[in-house]
Structures are given as structure tokens and as C-alpha cells.
Amino acid sequence: MTDPNFEPFKLEIERLYIHENKILSEVMEYMESKYSFVKSSGQYSRQLKKWGISKQNIKAKEWEWIGNKENKRKLHENKESEFYMGGNQVHVPQVKKAKYRDAYCSSIARFSTAPSPNTPEGFFVCTPASPGMHLLWNGSLPWLRFIKLLHSSQNEEAPSPSSSLTIKTPHGADALSRSVNHQLMSRLSTLIPWNKLTHPPNLHSSSRTSTALSILMPEEYEGQHDALSTDLNSSKNKGREHLALELFLLSNNITSQDPRGRTSENIRSDDERVMQMLEDSGWKDLKHIQILLSTREPTAEAIAERVFTSALRLHDIETVAMMLKFKMDPNSASIESISRGILTPLQFVAASQDERSEELINLLVSHGADVNYTCNEYPPLFYAIDEHGSRNMRAFMSHGAIVMPSCLSAATCLKDIEAFSDIANSCSDVNARSGWQDPSALAQAVTHGNVPIIKVLLAKGANIHDLVVVNFEDDIATTTILGLSVQSASNNVVRALLSGCHEMNPDFDGLPYVSPVVLAVERKNVEITHALLQAGVDIKQADGQGKMTLLERATENRYSVALCKVLIEHGAQVNRPVSSQKYESSALLKALKRKSSEVAQLLIEAGARLNDEHTQPPYTALGAAIEHGDGILIQTLLATGATVVGTKLEAIGSLGTAMFLQANDVLRGVLNVSGPGILATALLAKNTDLARYLLEHDADREYRMGNEDHVLSNQTPLEAAIEVGNVTFAETLLKRGAKVTDSVLAGAISKDPVLLKHLLARFGGCAPTAVGIAVFCGEPLQLLQEAGVDPTGVPQIPEYYWDLGDFQLPPPESVLEVAVVARNREALQFLLQWTPWNAKLIGRALTFAILLQLNEMVEDLLPFDSDMTQEITIQCPYYEDDFGEVAGERETYTPLQAAVNRQMIHVARALMEKADVNYLGHGVRCRTALQHAVEKGNMELINLLLSKHGARIDEPPATDGGATALQISCLKGYMGITRRLLDLGADVNEAPAKHNGRTALQGAAEYGRIDILHMLLNEGALVIGEGEMQYRKAVELAEQNGHNAAARMLRSWRDSVFLSPSTS
């Protein structure tokens, strides 16, 4: 296990030791001086070994191993080889040269099938990645035009961006290049979710880098990607090529894929890298900014957009000022933010608490930014108020910002009453709302509990009877602002509103609303309830609202004596009206159920009916007292006229209570209906005396009395006895004829072995649950098999066994799936031989194993006949965003689709021989195998499916959230794959999924893929006629997501189509 003290410094130590080639003592000295990190040389050496980090000092025997390994892989497996030592590639030229010196292989060694020598420590060998495609690129692509423009401008007088594309390094070009190059290669590995790019760790592979580049971007000349990837891997100082790659990624909005999605941290990291790139390239000056902004090329415009956005988010005033000087439009730029979506520059700066934000506001306004312009419903002033930015607020007010209703509402959280009064005085109507469902300013002030502002608004005529939406009884309902104040639980707020309220029971022309009294009782707030009733709020109107009466609502809490007294004093109904239909419950039943004797006594004295029967347990008042075993309450109820016990009890609270029932000839009737459940409850409570007494009165017998509904307990007495480990009682129940079921056996697994044998002797039939629990507990299955247990059927596995964390699998339909989820390979192999399994169940288990990437278990299942159309739907976990909990995606897979999605290539190869590769399936976001392969950017799988198995390129998308292969590649920014699919005839205008779908053009526009957009347009993507709707949506998506350069390119292309003679 690695030392946790070292982990935070891993990248820095690797950079110094490997990429800057420092000796260990220099690394130690640097780490101590820079970070006060002190460790011995031995500790460093051990940690570097654990990380697999070592320098490339290759010995003769290691060269010999390399030569032998390469030859054997070539001869026996027909595979090329890449070798790594300490995470760095051993380059092919070195290998070839060394073969003649240290790696001579005899004929015997070359052709021998004997095992190879053990792999030297720190070495790794794998097959080079290859895109498997030869692509021709159109020189009219925006990126190729842009890079050509840079090259051609080197001889011009004006400063050329390309002429400055070098890294300026005060500490030596080679050292910095190593670090920067490896950082870039690591980042490339996150751009494509291709497991070969990320596993194993610490590997920097030129072939994989080249393949990644081929997937992402076009080449200026054949072999460019190979050359660049080799230079990156060998740490040659190729600053211009490095920065060109960064510029391409920037212009096409290709960013690292963080598993957490876009976060403040990774956005800031991207922004800092953009600005560092600008600095390193020498472009951060007026002349170069002028060139960038005056170059009317989509790529230049996209880069300028990203630079301006990054500079603004980092509050880099110098860069923002330079760009504004050369006509960067401060109103058209769109800024991505995490919690607020896409904003205008002024909106973004207004929401910032950076000390330079006021200066930025003034700078933007001085260059024409409109202080009232918004790309959503909230003007910039709203964000300044919402962030309590007093300086920003004053700046906007001084520039003539209009106070909209949303601004006034936001201002209600301010503590500065003078500032609020200034804002309120600038607002023409304090009762105006931004939208009809939005709360008024007074409602917002009440929500914030801001009493001084409430008083200011009331003085300006704020309407206290505005209706607002509140959560009530697991639903939404309407109430007045007075009702809203009750939910704030602030007595001062309620008093402030009551002082300004002259009508306590407003009439809304029959429109239902929840009375403030109901909400006060719901909150169990005695003081506010009393104040509202004293002020004249109608209690009878309140008593008829919702699912409960006021007293029923009050008794939901056992400590509610004072509240019940207030309600009874003001005339709240103690009983519901007499009816032939049974009510669910009553105030008295709720009080008894919560063991609230004082409240029960209060209700009895107020006239509560004692013999009503209800539809919810414990059904009667006397039954509730019996379940709790409260002798005093039982006596009180009997003394005041209670006679109805009922027979459907879930428990008897004590031995004394049971004896009392027997003495009054009631026990027999109760046990005839509910005996087994009551006995099980006593056993689970470990009340052995009560359990024995109940057993003496045949509580374990199943009866059905007349037309009584039979109450089924969650557990039988035998199951309860086994759960609490009462073996003696369990044996007694067995002697009395207790039935042994699958669930009984399941409960006995891993318990008393003698008892288990006794249970098995009395059992016959299917017991999938017992077998499943045995699998999870790692218990041997032979005992169950020898007892004649049948493992087939659907196991009922407790949820806690099925919690995987990463995603949720559906409940199992066989114990095969249980063995897979339990990762119990021995059990799976045993089960497969125990009994024949049908293809459906094998198919499900196989899909489970693939989804969990359990290679060995997949190999165990592959030889069996499996249904290749079996679909498993997984639920990704819930996650939190700024608005609360959000449900994760649901994804459905067949075995082949799962294998392709998980990039288990050897498994996918095998399944392609058995399955219909074009099968789509059912469910949200379904994908064919090819669509999955494209989504993962895995060219090996793509080529296999297309070249050898006839995968259809234009297989239609799933109805909801689906996408064709081309649409997916455009969304992801996989330019090479997009080109390949188009070359093979993919339909550029294929319709999107009916729900939550995008055409290829729309997907590229939404994510700002400038070059893919151009390629699609060039290939015939329609923007007029039948393509009109596609075009409009594409422009809308581009602008919504801040890709204005993409939107401009779409408009320009459409204009050129209209002007073309062929469209006349």
C-alpha cells in the first residue's frame, strides 16, 4: 500500500525524477525546500518502487527479455509490441539497435513454446494502438485554413502568431518540455473514454497518443500525428506543435472529461491553461490580440471567444481590456458558470465577489456593454444583489440599471435597509412579479425572515394576501403570504404581518388554499397557532383542509399536549362526523399509538369516541393500548366505556396484557386472526415468557375467522426464532409442524448447523433465496445440493446485498446473477454444473458479469447457450446539484452492447459471432454495438463491427435519448471517426431521436465543434427547406451554450446557400 503522505506529491516527484531527470538527492532537497516535505532516501526509493516509477537504465538481461518477448509475440500471437519501463516507453529504434548487441535470440529461443522468463521489475508490454483508418482531409476545414494562415504569415511584417509559437523556459527547454508534454499526454487520455489510453497507469504511449490524435483532429500532412506523438513521448521540445494542438482543442471546445462533470475547479484549471498558453505563445500583447480578433476565420473567432471567456472568469483585466479595445463584443460573448448556466459578461461579473469585479463592470460598460441586457430572465443587477455585492450594485445603479421585479425580490435578503430602500424606491410596483408563478418581493422577504424589509414593503402597499406555493402533505399547495410566514417558524415575522393584516379570512372566489392555522399545527408551533386563532383565523375552515383534522395533525407528535389544548379551547373537532364508512384513523388512535397518555386523556375528556374501528393499525383505541401493553391506559379506556378490541392486532405488549385478554375471553379471538404475527413479534422482542404463553394458547396456528381479513406478518414464528438465535424455540415449532420454506432456510444459513440439517430434512422444492444467501455468505453449496434443494427460481435477496455503489442492477432472476454480484467464482462454477439453466438466465448472468467487468466469470459463462437479446437495465446513482437530488441515468444493455461499452474486446469478438450486431433493444438511451463503440472512441471495435460483422452505419436511434453513430461522434467531437463514418456513407441528415435527440448538425453546434460543423455542412447537411428546423435548432443550441462562433458560421453558410445560383 502506498504511503498516504507521499500521494499529494506524486505528480511533482515524478516530474522532477523522471521528466526533469534529477537524481534522488536533488528531488529530496527540492521537496524539502519547496514543500517542507522530509523523507529518507529509503522511503523515497520504496515509494517510487510502489508507484512503478524508475529511470530507464536497461541492463543486458532486460534487453534480452525485450528481444525474446517481441519475437514470441510476433511469431505466436501475430502481435506487435510496445515496451515500457517505469511508465516511459522504450523506443523502437533503441530496441532494434539493442537486438544486435544485447538481445540476440537463438533459433531455439525464438521458436520455443516454453514459458518466457519472468517479466523484469518495472517493465510492461502491450500491443500498440492503431486507429485502423486512412483519412483524407479537405483543406477548406476551418482548422486547416487557420493553421495555413499562421504558416503563411511568418514572412509578413506584422507579427505572426505562428512565429511566436514557442515555449519560453527560464529553466531549460528540455526539462520543461518533458513536464508539459507528459501533462498534455495525460490530458489526451481523458478526452476519449478508451480504456487502452488510461490503463495501466503511468504509461505514455506514442501509438496511443497518435490514435487519440487521429480520432480528434485532422492532419496537415500524412504522418503528422505519428511524428507529434513520438515527439511528445520522447519529450522533444516542439513548442509550436504542442501549442497548435492546444489551439485546436480550444477552438473545438474539446475539454478533459472529469467523472464529476463540469466543476468550478476543472473550469478554473482549463481557464488557467488557456491563459498560460496565451502567455507561452507570445500572443498576450496588443498586436497579437488585434490579429486574432481581426482574422475572420471561424477557428480564430472560436479561440478568441474562449480566451475572452477565460480571461473574464479569471478577472484578467489586462487581457479583457485588450480584447475590448479591438472590438470584442461585450454583449455577444457567453460565459459558462457552474451554478447559473450561461451568462452574459456583465451577468457573470455581477455574480462575482472578486475585488476586481467593479473595475470589470465599468470597463465592460465603457465599451458598450448594456447594463440591462440579459440572456435569461435576470438582468445583471439581479446577480449583483443576489451576491450581496454592494459595490457592484452601486456600479449598476450609477449606470442606469432598471430595477426589475426579480431585482427587488433578490434585495429582500439584504441586511442594509438603506440599500434596500434605494432599490425599492426605484421600483414602480412592489407587488409585480417576474412571472406569474414567481414569488413577490414580500413573499421573498418572509422566506428570508427579514422583518425590517417586510415593514418597508407593507408601508409601500405590498399585498399580504398574494397566493404562494408551499410544500404540504408531500405535495404542493397554495396559501397566503401569512401562511408562508408560518412555515418560517418566526414569531416576529408572523406578528409583523398580522399587524398589517386587516382581513384574516380572505375570499378567493372558491379557490382552495391552505389556512395558516393548518400550517402552524403542521409545524407544531403552539405560540403561532394561538396568535392566529386569537387574531380571528377561522378554525372551522382550517379543520376541513388536508387529509387530517387539526387534532389528528397535532397528535402526530406525542409531545403535543399544549397544542391540543389550544385547538380544543378554540373549537377544533375532536371526532370526525359519524359515517357508515370507516376512517383511516382518529386523533385518539394516533395519540394512543404514540403512547401519549396525557393527550389521550385530554381527548377522552373532550368527548372522543372510544369504540370506532379504523382501516389502519392498530384499528381500535383499546387495541392500541393492548399492543403497547399499557395497563393504566387499558383500565382508563375500559372505565370510560371502551369495549371494542378488534382481532387484527400486530402485537401484545406484555405477558400481563395477554393474561388480561385471556381472563376477559378475548385472547382466543385475537390469536385466531393474528396469532402467528403476534408470536413472531414477541420472539423478535426476545420476550420469551410472553412467547411461551402465546404458544400454550396455539398462537402458531393459522386460522381464518369468518369474513375477517387475514393479517400476514412479515415473518413467521419459525423465521423469527431463527433470526434471534432461539434454537430451542425453533425446534419446538418444528415439532409442532411449522412449515419449512425457502425464506426459513435462508434465515438459517450461517446459523446453527444442526438446526440447518433439521430444516433441510423437512424441506423439499426450490430454495433460490437460501442458495443465494449461501453464495453471498461464502457457505459451501454441497450441503444444499445433497439435501435435494432445487436452486432454480427467483431469489429474494435483501437490498443491502445488492448495493454496488457505482450503479444499481435490477433484482436477480436466478442465483447465477447472485454469484456474479457476490464475485463468488467458485459458487458460479458449482451452480452451472448443479442443474441445467435456460438461455435467458445465462444471458442475464453474462450481462451482469460483463457490466461488472469480471473477466474470469465471463469466461465461465461464455461456453453456455445464452440469449443474446436479454436486456439488463442499470440505474446510475442519484447525485446532488445546486437544486437538490437528481436521478441518475437509466441504461439498458444486451451482452454484446455491455461488452462493447466496457471495451472488453476479446469478449465482444466472441459475442459478435453469436449476436445480431445491429440489435438496438428497448429503453431509454439504448445503443447498438456500433453506437456504443463510437461513444467510447474505440476504433478497434468500430473497425471490427464495420469490416467483419456488417454493422449498419445508419441504424436509427432509440426513441428517447438515442443517437446514430454519426450523431454520437459529432456530439463527442471525434472528428476522425466522423470523417470515417461519412466516407462509409453515413446519412448526414438522419433524423434525431423522437425525445431528447439531436441531429448530427445540432449536436456539433451544441458542443461548439467548429470543424465537424463545417465538415457536415460541406457533406450536405441541410439548412434550408427540409433542413430549416434543423438549422434553427442548431443555432439556438450553439448560442445557448456560448458557442457564438459556431452560430455565426451556421448563419454565414446559410446565407451563402441562399446566394448560390443552384438554390435560385
* Pair 931, 1038 in one domain: no
| Distance in angstroms (rounded) separating the CA atoms of residues 197 and 535 | 72
What is the spatial distance between Cα 478 and Cα 258, in angstroms, rounded to a whole number? 42
Q: How many CB atoms lie within 10 A of CB 1040?
A: 16
pLDDT of residue 744: 96
Q: Are residues 831 and 940 in the same domain?
A: yes
Residue 979 contacts residue 1013 (beta carbons within 8 Å): no
Residues 976 and 962 grouped into a single domain: yes
Q: 981 and 969 in contact (C-beta within 8 Å)?
A: yes
Which value, to the nearest 10 degrees, does the dihedral of the CA atoms of residues 453, 456, 462, 467 take? 20
931 and 1049 part of one domain: no
**Tell me, what's the pLDDT at 871?**
96
Q: Would 354 be classed as within a structural domain?
A: no
What pLDDT is stored for residue 71 in this prediction? 81
3-class secondary structure, 175: helix
477: enclosing H helix or E strand: strand 475-480
> Considering its fold, how many domains does the chain have in total?
5
Cβ-in-10-Å burial (0-12, 13-18, 19+) of 46 comes to middle
φ, ψ (nearest 5 deg) of residue 782? -60, -40
- Residue 1060: give its domain's CATH number: 1.25.40.20
Q: Tell me which residue range forms the domain holding 1026.
A: 953-1064
Q: Is the domain of 992 the same as that of 1003? A: yes
Residue 443 lies in a domain: no
Contact of 942 with 933, CB cutoff 8 Å: yes
| Residue given cell 511524428 in the structure block | 227
Q: What is the 3-state secondary structure of 843-879? A: HHHHHHHHHCCCHHHHHHHCCCCCCCCCCEEEECCCE
Secondary structure (DSSP) of 30-47: HHHHHH-----HHHHHHH
367 Cβ contact list (under 8 Å, min separation 6)? 324, 325, 330
Do 875 and 911 fall within a single domain? yes
Q: 662 in a domain, yes or no?
A: no
In the chain, what is the greatest distance between 2 CA atoms, to the nearest angstrom? Answer: 113
Residue 2 lies in a domain: no
Quick one: 933 and 806 in the same domain? yes
Cell of 137: 482531409
Does residue 815 sit in the same domain as residue 874? Answer: yes
Out of 501, 520, 547, pick the residue that ends a domain.
547
User: Is residue 838 included in any domain, yes or no?
Assistant: yes
744 domain-assigned: no
Task: Tell me: do 935 and 987 sit in the same domain.
Answer: no
In the structure grid, which three cell numbers stand for residue 255, read together?
Answer: 475539454
**Residue 221 lies inside a defined structural domain of this protein:** no
Of all helices (H) and strands (E), which one includes residue 479? strand 475-480
pLDDT at 114: 54
Q: Is residue 644 part of a domain?
A: no
The C-alpha atoms of residue 539 and residue 517 are separated, in whole angstroms, by 7
In the three-class reduction of DSSP (H, G, I as helix; E, B as strand; rest coil), residue 387 is classed as coil
Question: Quick one: pLDDT at residue 202?
Answer: 47
Cis peptide before 200 (omega within 30 of 0): yes
Residue-wise pLDDT tens digits, 136-160: 899 999 999 998 877 655 444 444 4
CA-CA distance, 1023 to 1034, in Å (whole number)? 9
Residues 948 and 801 occupy one common structural domain = yes
pTM of the full predicted structure? 0.80
pLDDT at 238: 58
Domain end residue (candidates: 495, 526, 547): 547
Task: Tell me how far CA of residue 417 lies from CA of 389, 410, 421, 441, 494, in angstroms.
Answer: 14, 13, 6, 14, 20
661-664: long-range pairs with CB below 8 Å, 24+: 661/626, 662/697
Q: What is the pLDDT of residue 87?
A: 59
Picking from 107, 126, 145, the residue at the C-terminal end of a domain is 126
Bridge partner residues of 124 (DSSP):
84
Check whether residue 811 and residue 930 sit in a common domain. yes
**pLDDT in the model for residue 770:** 97
Q: Which helix (H) or strand (E) holds 1033?
A: helix 1028-1040
User: What integer pLDDT is reported at residue 291 of this predicted model?
Assistant: 86
Give me the residues of the chain with pLDDT under 50, please. Answer: 92, 94-97, 99-111, 154-176, 197-202, 704-712, 882-883, 1064
Helix 206-216, helix 173-191: angle, nearest 10: 60
The three three-digit cell numbers of residue 314, written as one number: 479569471
3-state secondary structure 287-344: HHHHHHHHCCCHHHHHHHHHHHHHHHHCCCHHHHHHHHHCCCCCCCCCEEECCCEEEC
* Same domain, residue pair 929 and 959: no
